[in-house]
Structure 1
Amino acid sequence: MDADLRSNLFQQAKDWVMEAGANIKAKIDDPLTINTKSNAKDLVTHMDQETERFFQTKIKKKYPDHFLLSEEGYGDNLSNLDGIVWIIDPIDGTMNFVQQKRNFAISVGIYLDGIGEIGIIYNVMDDVLYHAIRGEGAFKDDVRLPKLKESLTLEESMIGLNHNWLCRNRLVKEDTMQQLVRKVRGTRTYGSAALEFAYVAEGIMDGYLTMGLAPWDVAAGIVIVNEVGGVTTTIDGQSVNMLTTNPIITCNSEIHSQVIVEYIKKGRK
């Protein structure tokens, strides 16, 4: 992608993200219409849908030849990532949005022919913007994020780990994951995949594992983590398919192979 086009796209995407965030904050205390999707824990609100419609309208008007891949049904039905594709989660962490009114994010990734060019994750209520343009580094607001620490061990690592790994995991034996929990320095769960990616990029967490994330959960985060030297794959170490749901590990590259080889592959059911 041409450098000028990337810069212009980033600025436009950032402006829309901030506008959408301001709208969410202005309405944060309004009554919510809450529905469920796949199960009682899979929530969607009218604000998720309103925010996605906002992006869909803006993108299709200004960039009619661009595509949209998104969570709430307003995007295009894509079988590939040819061309310029915006991959958007309007509110990542909907349960947090509903229950806590914080700890959720707007996530926007822009891809060209399957390659992540731009990543934006906006922590709405804390007013913190994580962002990256491929090859130009990653930032928290206006502060450039340093490369992730070298010579990191698992014993020194803080890992984001959804508790479903320990109680209803269909992929890896629960006792193997319990061994990983005992090995690392600590675990945390924040309830927003986008924010967990951002925290890995910031270096305040060293990795994040989860059983199933959709493209809109990871698209922006992958770009941002890449720019600080991190790595994102499936839990088997394979490339992430950006058109399907994947079990994901994103982490400091120093611990990537150890987690996969010593814990995930040995514990596969």
Structure 2
Amino acid sequence: MTNWSEIDKLTRVWLKESRKNIIQSFATILEIQTKANVNDLVTNIDKETEQFFIENIRANFPKHRIMGEEGFGDKFTDLNGVVWIIDPIDGTMNFVHQQRNFFISIGIYDNGIGILGYLYDVVHDELYFAKAGEGAYCNGKKLPLLSEGLVENAIVGFNAQWLVSNNYMDPKKLFPLIRDVRGTRSYGSAALEIAYVATGRLDSYISMRLAPWDFAAGKIIVEELGGIVTNLQGERVNLLETGSILVSKPGLHENIMQRYLKEQ
């Protein structure tokens, strides 16, 4: 039987240790590389942080499998067993340029069901956490369930660059939504923006393209608060592939889908 309390205890210790190492790196010269394109950055700290978690998970939970952004984990065709889905630094561009507005994201799943979710704002030392069936918390303070929202009152996390890219869907489809909401924000970290939906700092978050490690932890937290997480077709997100995502308060999610995204 899986000891989730022990997993939670150790994960929190590892997050704190990672924070110390990352903060210390601010005074060093980073090794910066690019991945898919010139704006898709990865640093030595991304890699070292992922390796740190993997080494500790393997040492303590050798039967668990690990999906990590930087490729040091396992290969996946299913989600059987206990699976850790890790983004060591979500918001690497912010980490490089701002030394803030980046998160560590860890979602732990059991046969495809989210059990433990951690979104950690490293600089501000804010830990957003949820355990399935037991609520969600920020630094130990229980978060209230999300209330229903309206489009005209909504602040939506959305990167304006999607409006000039037609690689994933017709950007004109989103013009009416962007026009009708109260405002939009772009923070450069999916983990941060999903955490902000969980706390009500944002009402919704939209992305045309996210990998599982970008949203796996946030999905657990938001759903524990009654929020809705789907792709832009209103379907369940796939934790084995990259795709679009819509994270919203209840009511607001259905409103966005029906008024702006549903095929006519």
| Residue 157 (str. 1) matches residue 177 (str. 2) | no
Q: Which amino acid aligns with 2:206?
A: L
Residues 83-135 of structure 1: CA distance to partner in whole angstroms, max 9, x if unpaired?
A: 00000000000000011110000001100000000000110011111011111
- Structure 1, unpaired ranges of 5+: none
After superposition, where does 1:218-237 map in structure 2 within 5 Å?
218-237=215-234
Q: CA deviation at 1:18?
A: 1.3
Structure 2 counterpart of 1:263: 260
- Alignment counterpart, residue 176 of structure 1, candidates 173, 177, 190: 173
After superposition, where does 1:104-143 map in structure 2 within 5 Å?
104-143=102-141
Q: CA deviation at 1:153?
A: 1.0
Q: CA deviation at 1:22?
A: 1.3
Structure 2 counterpart of 1:166: 163
- Alignment counterpart, residue 84 of structure 1, candidates 82, 85, 95: 82
- Alignment counterpart, residue 55 of structure 1, candidates 31, 53, 56: 53
Structure 2 counterpart of 1:65: 63
- Alignment counterpart, residue 201 of structure 2, candidates 195, 199, 204: 204
- Structure 2, unpaired ranges of 5+: none
Q: CA deviation at 1:168?
A: 0.9
Residues 174-231 of structure 1: CA distance to partner in whole angstroms, max 9, x if unpaired?
A: 2331211110111000000001110000111110000111111011000100111101
Q: CA deviation at 1:43?
A: 0.4
Q: Which amino acid aligns with 2:159?
A: N
CA distance in 2, matches of 1:75, 1:265: 37
Query: Residue 20 of structure 1: SS of its match in structure 2?
Result: helix
CA distance in 1, matches of 2:16, 2:234: 34
Q: CA deviation at 1:8?
A: 1.8
Q: After the TM superposition, which parts of structure 1 deviate over 3 Å for at least 4 consecutive aligned residues?
A: none
How many aligned positions are there? Answer: 264
CA distance in 1, matches of 2:196, 2:231: 19
Q: Percent identity at matched positions? A: 47
Q: CA deviation at 1:266?
A: 4.2
Structure 2 counterpart of 1:40: 38
CA distance in 2, matches of 1:20, 1:181: 37
Q: TM-score, normalised by structure 1?
A: 0.95
| Residue 247 (str. 1) matches residue 247 (str. 2) | no
- C-alpha contact 1:10 1:133 (8 A) present in aligned 2: no
- C-alpha contact 1:21 1:106 (8 A) present in aligned 2: no
- Alignment counterpart, residue 187 of structure 1, candidates 181, 184, 199: 184
| Residue 144 (str. 1) matches residue 142 (str. 2) | yes
Residues 61-93 of structure 1: CA distance to partner in whole angstroms, max 9, x if unpaired?
A: 111000000110110011101000000000000
- C-alpha contact 1:92 1:106 (8 A) present in aligned 2: yes
Q: CA deviation at 1:10?
A: 1.3
- C-alpha contact 1:147 1:228 (8 A) present in aligned 2: yes
Query: Residue 253 of structure 1: SS of its match in structure 2?
Result: coil
RMSD: 1.3
Higher mean C-alpha displacement, 113-122 vs 157-166: 157-166
CA distance in 1, matches of 2:152, 2:167: 26
- C-alpha contact 1:236 1:265 (8 A) present in aligned 2: yes
Q: CA deviation at 1:47?
A: 0.4
- C-alpha contact 2:147 2:250 (8 A) present in aligned 1: no
Query: Residue 134 of structure 2: SS of its match in structure 1?
Result: coil
Query: Residue 217 of structure 1: SS of its match in structure 2?
Result: helix
